[in-house]
Structure 1
Amino acid sequence: MHRTLRSSLCAIAVATLIPLSACTSDAAPAGTHSASPSATTVNAPAVTPPNGTAFTDIYGSTIHAHGGGVLLHNGVYYWAGENRGVDDKFRAVSLYRSDDLVHWTFVSDILTQHSDPELAVATIERPKLMYNAATDTFVLWMHWENGTDYSQARVAVATSPRIDEPFTYQRSFRPLDFESRDLSVFTDADGTGYLVSATAANADLQIYRMDATYTGVDSVVARLWPGAFREAPAMFVRDGTYFLLTSGATGWTPNQAKYATATSPDGPWSDLRDVGNDTAFGSQAAFVLPVQGSSGTDYLYLGDRWAGAWGGLVNQSTYVWLDIEFPRSDEMTLVLSEALRIDARRGTIIPTDAGGRR
């Protein structure tokens, strides 16, 4: 999401029946967590914090993983996202781990403004983790800007042999010389990596096939909806149907989420269709996570409620997590609820007090 203050979100929180604590959350700088590497093992369904609130780790510290994504590795979920300081500048990509998607433990700041001179004053947004099984390497993709404006429109990449160790910053670049702003990544079942990002001053979306190392791109495989101004992409696959969820480009202010489907990341992709209400229930998509277990696979929408909409700092932003349902193989709906009951072992997500499906 590109950072123009447009309107207050507090009224939206009231309209969507989601708590207003997002309007008063305190910001916290990077490095203030209790740094225990152990995860909490929970053998029964657990309930997430209420939507629209600041999620906390098992020690009560605020989770700062804004615009982030979740990677399942060796049975553990890792949530990495953006962490800024009280001056609203980039401080770190913070990493958390969980066995059940509810009880989170802070692991470490895997990339910081001190990791490389190019990060000292940079703006880093929408970090996403990947695991390359062929090289046994973890790869972190990010949107990179110069810290002053949004004129650079680059991606940045960092790597590590272990997920819980500091990542080594590699470089920033424009993929195939195209601008890149809001981005996400996707790993297909055959191991092919994909980058999805907004380009052409946010007017277009493009899907790129990554190289074998997941640290660069080889080709553009799809150029989608030229001039539609879609951002915040989140791609996932369900039973052979690929879904691409996006938002409009309205600054911090939430807007109508839309999605499209295809039978391959290369397309052809369908026309865009609305999902959720006209503000995506006061959120913007960051990631969609398949939660696979013994009973099947449910899908988790991870969204941010950006504090910039009411003049707050990025670290005052809160989270909106929703269950996704599929009326047909190529249709999806977002289920609004106060919270979610998640059984990660069984692969089930049950909305608590569900308020609507759209």
Structure 2
Amino acid sequence: MKHFLFLTFFIYCLSVNAQKQIYTDFYPGKLWFDTEGDIINAHGGGILYYEGTYYWFGEHKGEFSNAALVGVTCYSSKDLYNWTFERIVLPVSDDPNSPIVRGSVIERPKVIYNKKTDTFVMYFHLELKGEGYNAAHVGMAISKQAAGPYTLVRNSRVNAGKWPANLKEEQKKENPDDAWMLKKGWTPEWLKAVEDGLFVRHHFKEGQMSRDMTLYVDDDDKAYHIYASEDNATIQIAELTDDYQNYTGKYIRIFPATHNEAPTIFKKDGTYWMITSGCTGWKPNEARMFSAPSIWGPWIQHSNPCQGKDAELTFHTQGTYILPVHGQKNMFIFMADRWCPDNPIDGRYVWLPVLFENGIPVLKWVNKWHITE
């Protein structure tokens, strides 16, 4: 029996070590291993570039649950192909009173660096344990080191007591039908009411819902939180304070009542581009794309940026972040996850180059690619 156990362990070690390799290309949808030969576990991720190193933050997922059982992971890389596991930068808590207790939902963590305070700031979508997706909170954590650890500062809804800058005055007034209309979900009447500010009014005092999200730091170092709100019916963009740790109170709604989630954003030649998805749970759908001359709009919609086979399913993925490659002018990477709800840890990463045709972003499938000058 001892010989059998030793042989099993030896074979296991060989199989793990066999995965230790140096990557020189991206292989979208294939298993991706870190420098120790372990599968990279950083789902719904985003990347921070700081002093010559990329830091990839993401959700640690297990085999049977999408709940947060471990916390937020961090990997580092110099070349974007080969990633070293740093640590669990924001571990779940064993304190049942903590908002990030084990079994809560922590999704789509993003980290930005604040030059004024020399602080790294993380935002993430947080759902409280046992409450399903009803909390719709944003969590915020900080660290003095890029690779953490991070300390949770607060969690809440967004911009309590503040109206969107582009909400009409008549839409701010209470409607006697609001209470009844809130129960009429997914009907044409409900969508019209949402468009007219139903959820904004309903959540005015406690703040706006925040689910799928990303962060964006502009050329002037102003930072923005971009998130799915109003029961995932509307994207909102909220300006952050100068220390990136709170809200200025200025925010807008983008295409209300059209069901967008998974926002990703970048800027090229003065134009802001946003790629989102529709709302079909864990199942993939067709990506949507919008552009604007200012972060505050006006935003216009374009056709699906994906082209080719399975374009209508965003190549069986959902976007999580768009990464500007440092030192490469107009080189952007569309980061997406191929969700696997029955075995979450097996969700695959699909990174594709953002191409441009007549100045319009385009995504095309490739089995293998690398960054070129």
TM-score, with length taken from structure 2:
0.76
Greater C-alpha Rg: 2
How far, CA to CA, are the matches of 2:247 and 2:367 in structure 1?
A: 40
Shift of 1:313: 2.7
Q: Does residue 1:299 correspond to 2:332, yes or no?
A: yes
Report the AA paired with residue 285 of structure 1: G
Q: Does residue 1:320 correspond to 2:302, yes or no?
A: no
**Match for residue 128 of structure 2?**
146
**Match for residue 195 of structure 1?**
225
Structure 1: where are the runs of 5+ without partners? Answer: 1-32, 35-39, 349-358
Match of 1:205 among 215, 232, 235: 235
**Match for residue 91 of structure 2?**
112
Shift of 1:86: 3.9
What SS class does the counterpart of residue 280 from structure 1 fall into?
A: helix
Q: Does residue 1:256 correspond to 2:235, yes or no?
A: no
How far, CA to CA, are the matches of 1:54 and 1:114 in structure 2?
A: 29
Report the AA paired with residue 320 of structure 2: A
Identity %: 34
Match of 1:169 among 128, 152, 157: 152
Report the AA paired with residue 80 of structure 2: L
Matching of residues 1-358 of structure 1 within 5 Å: 46-48=24-26, 50-88=27-65, 89-90=67-68, 91-114=70-93, 117-120=98-101, 121-148=103-130, 149-176=132-159, 177-276=207-306, 277-293=311-327, 296-308=329-341, 312-329=342-359, 331-343=360-372, 348=373
- Cα deviation code 1:225-283 (max 9, x no counterpart): 11100000001111111001100010001110011111110111112421111011111
How far, CA to CA, are the matches of 1:86 and 1:169 in structure 2?
A: 26
- Cα deviation code 1:63-105 (max 9, x no counterpart): 1110010111001111000002344231111000001000100
Report the AA paired with residue 322 of structure 1: L
How far, CA to CA, are the matches of 2:368 and 2:236 in structure 1?
A: 33
What SS class does the counterpart of residue 345 from structure 2 fall into?
A: helix
Aligned residues: 298
Larger deviation, residues 114-123 vs 187-196 = 114-123
After superposition, the CA RMSD in angstroms is 2.0
Q: Which has the higher strand share?
A: 1
Q: Which has the higher helix share?
A: 2
Q: Show structure 1 runs of 4+ deviating over 3 A.
A: none
**Match for residue 351 of structure 1?**
none
Shift of 1:115: 8.1
What SS class does the counterpart of residue 99 from structure 2 fall into?
A: helix
How far, CA to CA, are the matches of 1:298 and 1:284 in structure 2?
A: 20
How far, CA to CA, are the matches of 1:301 and 1:115 in structure 2?
A: 35
Report the AA paired with residue 332 of structure 1: P
Report the AA paired with residue 336 of structure 1: W
Report the AA paired with residue 230 of structure 2: A
- Cα deviation code 1:28-49 (max 9, x no counterpart): xxxxx99xxxxx9x9xx9212x
TM-score, with length taken from structure 1:
0.80
Shift of 1:292: 3.1
Native 8 Å contact 1:222 1:265 kept in 2:
no
